[in-house]
């Protein structure tokens, strides 16, 4: 996997964190400026795309600026200090970024500088738990060899959720979500791989932990056409069951917010706050709507959901269709292609946990997701957006 994660993760003890948070609360209450620690800077590099992640101890307040001669972007993070563990110069040299530099600019400001080479566009977002600033850098797009040859080859990234120290949801009989979804993803790769026009990549093919940001980075870095994240659902209500497929969008649906909070590893309270955040809304409006990604993701979700429900209903009794839904999943944020998150069944439901433990059921799930993807790929050209501005473009395809 062409992933370069080059700096160390700082592990704080919970005690230190509590002390830190207490101190921050105390200082804030006293009206003094709290110190936001810059704890880690790392990047993932791909041919046309780089993701830089700055991990902090608190929500960052920052300004940004782009300067020429030489071309660079810098971020001034207010009320912050850089910790000793941070590597302050990261040479990148991948054609887009020369390097990433960071330093204590003055007593209360950390400056992070991205020295640019050839950059088409960049985007910044802030996510929580851990608190981090994510900068996505896009290079000037080069045509893939398969595109040049005009072969209808689709490139698909399948993302089995969780892994390693993160088991995901755990069933009443101790079945782990991470094991179930990995097996489904491996089966899916085998099925899809039989089509010579489809290239399949997995974000993980073994029991290893991959951060959510890195999964999206892999899909963007592979220049994928489709991104499918595979998960198993869970609910405190044991009776909850069924299949649902999500695409990225804001939502007011309480159940959808709960699912996204669990998959994002954040509290429901934080999830609701994030749902209203300006940065996140900007990404959705600017990115998803501009490239028609939301409509295409919705379409992909519909094809997969329909295929799963239809196929499983013919083999099993009582398959519940919970439909296509929308919510803000970290793993889908910033993905440049049609992307969905599938919740294959409820691992928290004893009956569905038993089904999920079976080779045959996992095989049916993989086959039905694969045929949903295939029917999406071979379906009619992209639907026209509701606004008239792109009509001519859409009609040309």
Residue 231 near residue 263, CB atoms below 8 Å: yes
Binding string, 160-199, against Zn ion, x = CB under 5 A? Answer: -x------x-------------------------------
Task: Using alpha carbons only, give the angle 115, 116, 119 rounded to the nearest 5 degrees.
Answer: 155
Q: Which CB sits closer to Zn ion, 98 or 258?
A: 258
User: Which uninterrupted H or E stretch holds 91?
Assistant: strand 89-91
* Nearest in space to 120 (alpha carbons), one of 137, 135, 134, 136: 137
Residue 133 near residue 126, CB atoms below 8 Å: yes
Binding string, 222-241, against Zn ion, x = CB under 5 A? Answer: ---------x----------
Distance CA 102, CA 55 (A): 12
User: Residue 229 Cβ, how far from Zn ion at the closest point, in Å?
Assistant: 8
User: Residue 160 Cβ, how far from Zn ion at the closest point, in Å?
Assistant: 9
CA of residue 175 relative to chain centroid, distance: 24
Q: Which CB sits closer to Zn ion, 45 or 233?
A: 233
Nearest residue to Zn ion on Cβ basis: 231
Binding string, 256-295, against Zn ion, x = CB under 5 A? Answer: -------x--------------------------------
How many residues lie near Zn ion (CB under 5 A)?
4
Distance CA 184, CA 287 (A): 30
Strands 226-233 and 321-327: unpaired
User: Residue 258 Cβ, how far from Zn ion at the closest point, in Å?
Assistant: 12
User: Residue 139 Cβ, how far from Zn ion at the closest point, in Å?
Assistant: 31
User: Residue 244 Cβ, how far from Zn ion at the closest point, in Å?
Assistant: 12
Q: Which CB sits closer to Zn ion, 263 or 353?
A: 263
Binding range to Zn ion, per CB under 5 A, among 47-55, 103-111, 154-162, 368-376? 154-162
Strands 243-248 and 338-346: antiparallel
Residue 383 near residue 300, CB atoms below 8 Å: no
Q: Which residues bind Zn ion (CB under 5 A)?
A: 161, 168, 231, 263
């Amino acid at each position: 996997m062409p992933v370069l994660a080059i700096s160390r993760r700082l592990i704080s003890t919970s005690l230190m964190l509590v002390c830190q948070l207490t101190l921050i609360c105390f200082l804030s209450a006293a009206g003094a400026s709290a110190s936001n620690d810059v704890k880690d800077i790392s990047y993932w590099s791909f041919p046309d795309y780089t993701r830089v992640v700055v991990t902090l101890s608190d929500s960052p307040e920052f300004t940004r600026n782009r300067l020429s001669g030489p071309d660079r972007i810098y971020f001034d993070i207010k009320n912050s200090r850089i910790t000793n563990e941070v590597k302050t110069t990261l040479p990148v040299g991948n054609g887009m970024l020369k390097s990433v530099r960071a330093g204590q600019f003055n007593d209360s400001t950390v400056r992070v500088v991205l020295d640019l080479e050839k950059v088409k566009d960049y985007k910044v977002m802030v996510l929580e738990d851990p608190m981090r600033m994510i900068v996505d850098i896009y290079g000037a797009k080069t045509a893939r060899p398969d595109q040049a040859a005009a072969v209808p080859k689709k490139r698909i990234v399948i993302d089995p959720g969780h892994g390693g120290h993160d088991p995901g949801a755990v069933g009443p009989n101790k079945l782990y979500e991470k094991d179930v979804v990995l097996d489904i993803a491996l089966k899916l790769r085998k099925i899809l791989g039989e089509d010579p026009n489809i290239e399949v990549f997995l974000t993980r093919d073994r029991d290893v932990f991959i951060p959510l940001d890195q999964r999206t980075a892999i899909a963007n870095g592979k220049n994928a056409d489709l991104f499918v994240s595979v998960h198993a659902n869970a609910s405190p209500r044991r009776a909850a069951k069924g299949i649902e497929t999500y695409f990225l969008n804001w939502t007011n649906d309480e159940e959808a917010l709960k699912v996204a909070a669990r998959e994002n590893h954040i509290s429901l309270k934080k999830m609701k706050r994030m749902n209203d955040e300006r940065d996140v809304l900007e990404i959705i409006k600017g990115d998803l709507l501009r490239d028609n990604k939301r409509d295409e993701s919705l379409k992909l979700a519909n094809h997969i959901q329909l295929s799963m429900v239809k196929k499983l209903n013919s083999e099993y009794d009582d398959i519940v269709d919970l439909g296509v839904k929308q919510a803000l999943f970290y793993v889908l944020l910033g993905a440049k292609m049609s992307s969905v998150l599938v919740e294959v069944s409820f691992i928290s439901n004893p009956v569905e946990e038993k089904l999920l433990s079976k080779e045959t059921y996992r095989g049916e799930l993989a086959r039905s997701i694969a045929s949903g993807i295939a029917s999406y790929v071979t379906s009619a050209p992209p639907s026209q957006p509701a606004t008239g501005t792109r009509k001519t473009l859409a009609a040309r395809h």
